[in-house]
Amino acid sequence: MKRWMKISICVCIVLVFGIAGTLLYLNRAVNTMAKQMYEPLALEDRSPSTLNMATLDRASEDTLKPFIVLLIGVDERQKDSGRSDSLMLLAVNPAKESILMFNIPRDTRTNIIGRGIEDKINHAYAFGGTEMSVRTVESFINFPIDYYIKVNMEGLVHLVDSVGGIEVENHFPFSYNGFSFEKGILALNGEKALSYSRMRFDDPRGDLGRNERQREIIKALVRQSITWKSLTNLQSIMDEIGQSVKTNMQFEMMKEIFLSYRPKIKEVSSLEIEGRGQKINSIYYFIVDESTRISVHNKLANFMSVEGGL
């Protein structure tokens, strides 16, 4: 055998084993991260999920069932039980090749399930953590939630720094928490990204504008996380995710959703919950009329192909 052929074969063997070893390492590392993230809810024994491992059969796409995820952005600091800084629902329906997404304004006045009072919906987390937040949102939309993903907003600082910073496009200049943000493309480190995501009172769209900036930060994090620079710091990134993100999805579920559902989704649509500001006992609330709440429920039920309304 010629010498150059032997060298080529050796190089191929090294590449094959190198790639296999990298994939094995990544699988184990991601599995470890998923275990750190996993945090089940006590209410899961009474709230049946529309998604289970029996439905996740890639060989038969017709078995893929729709499901709903509640994204909870938590403003949780030292010596503070925290509040849900943002609440976003993602309804995933592979049969319609679509995701329906909408935010619930944090000041929305509603029944706090398990507390027996009406209050701002973001206070549910302060009163009873993730479980009370999920139950309260379920009551507000009158629809079961299959999964939650909770992100500690303070963890954004370390996560953004772990990927080497991010870039976002800012649509108007503002200052917040000692930082100035000019209009245009901004390079943000962790501290700046957190401040950029929190401002709302100087935003012409209030909560809606802040929610949009938070979504832009998440998108920028995803883009930056897949760069070569970030891959060289992969372990640190996964450690930060494991510490800052909690969910009731298990590793196999995440993997199957990524493999089975993601290729079928072609579009993301959104709706906006309408309401009005009102002060009650000198406290500002976002008031959602019953007719609007019913309309949101029915739109969600129709998207999820569930018969009937309220």
Q: How confident is the model at residue 310 (pLDDT cuts 50, 70, 90)?
A: very low
pLDDT at 53 (0 to 100): 34
**Chain segment 74-127, per-residue pLDDT in tens:** 876 655 556 677 888 989 898 898 888 888 988 999 999 999 999 999 999 999
Mean pLDDT of 225-246: 66
pLDDT at 266 (0 to 100): 84
With a pLDDT cut of 90, the percent of the chain lying above it is: 33
Q: Rounded to whole angstroms, how far apart are CA atoms 149 and 210?
A: 19
Domain 164-232 has CATH 3.40.630.190: yes
Q: Domain 41-152+248-303 maps to which CATH number in 3.30.420.590, 3.40.50.720, 3.40.50.300, 3.90.1200.10?
A: 3.30.420.590
Phi, psi of 163 (to 5 degrees): -95, 5
pLDDT greater than 90 at residue 256: no
pTM: 0.74
To which residue do tokens 């944090």 refer?
106
The HSE-up count of residue 142 (CA atoms within 13 Å, CB side) is 14
Amino acid identity of 118? E
pLDDT at 78 (0 to 100): 57
Using alpha carbons only, what angle is made at residue 10 by residues 8 and 15, rounded to the nearest 5 degrees? 95
Mean pLDDT of 244-256: 81
pLDDT at 230 (0 to 100): 52
pLDDT at 34 (0 to 100): 77
pLDDT greater than 60 at residue 59: no
**Which has more confidence, 56 or 180?**
180
pLDDT at 281 (0 to 100): 92
Q: Rounded to whole angstroms, how far apart are CA atoms 175 and 253?
A: 41
pLDDT at 207 (0 to 100): 75
pLDDT greater than 80 at residue 288: yes
The HSE-up count of residue 180 (CA atoms within 13 Å, CB side) is 1
pLDDT at 307 (0 to 100): 47
Long-range contacts of the stretch 224-228 (C-beta < 8 A, 24+): 224/163, 224/164, 224/165, 224/166, 224/167, 225/163, 227/163, 227/164
Q: Which two tokens stand for residue 31?
A: 């599995």
pLDDT greater than 80 at residue 286: yes
pLDDT at 211 (0 to 100): 76
Taking every pair of Cα atoms in the chain, the longest distance, rounded to a whole number of angstroms, is: 89
Bin 53: left if φ > 0, else alpha if -120 < ψ < 50, else beta.
Answer: alpha
Mean pLDDT of 276-302: 94
Residue 103, H or E segment: strand 98-103
Mean pLDDT of 230-259: 73
What b-and-e string marks burial along 258-281, b requiring 16 or more CB atoms within 10 Å of the CB?
eebbeeeeeeeeeeebebeeeeee
Average pLDDT, the chain: 78
**Chain segment 131-163, per-residue pLDDT in tens:** 999 999 999 999 999 999 888 877 778 888 888
Identify the CA nearest to 170 among candidates 158, 156, 157, 184.
184
Phi, psi of 237 (to 5 degrees): -65, -45
**Chain segment 1-48, per-residue pLDDT in tens:** 555 544 444 444 444 444 444 445 456 666 777 788 889 987 654 444
Q: Rounded to whole angstroms, how far apart are CA atoms 301 and 101?
A: 13
pLDDT greater than 90 at residue 206: no
Q: Which DSSP string corresponds to 193-243?
A: HHHHHH--TTSTTTHHHHHHHHHHHHHHHHHHHTSHHHHTTHHHHHHHHHH
Strands 147-152 and 67-75: parallel
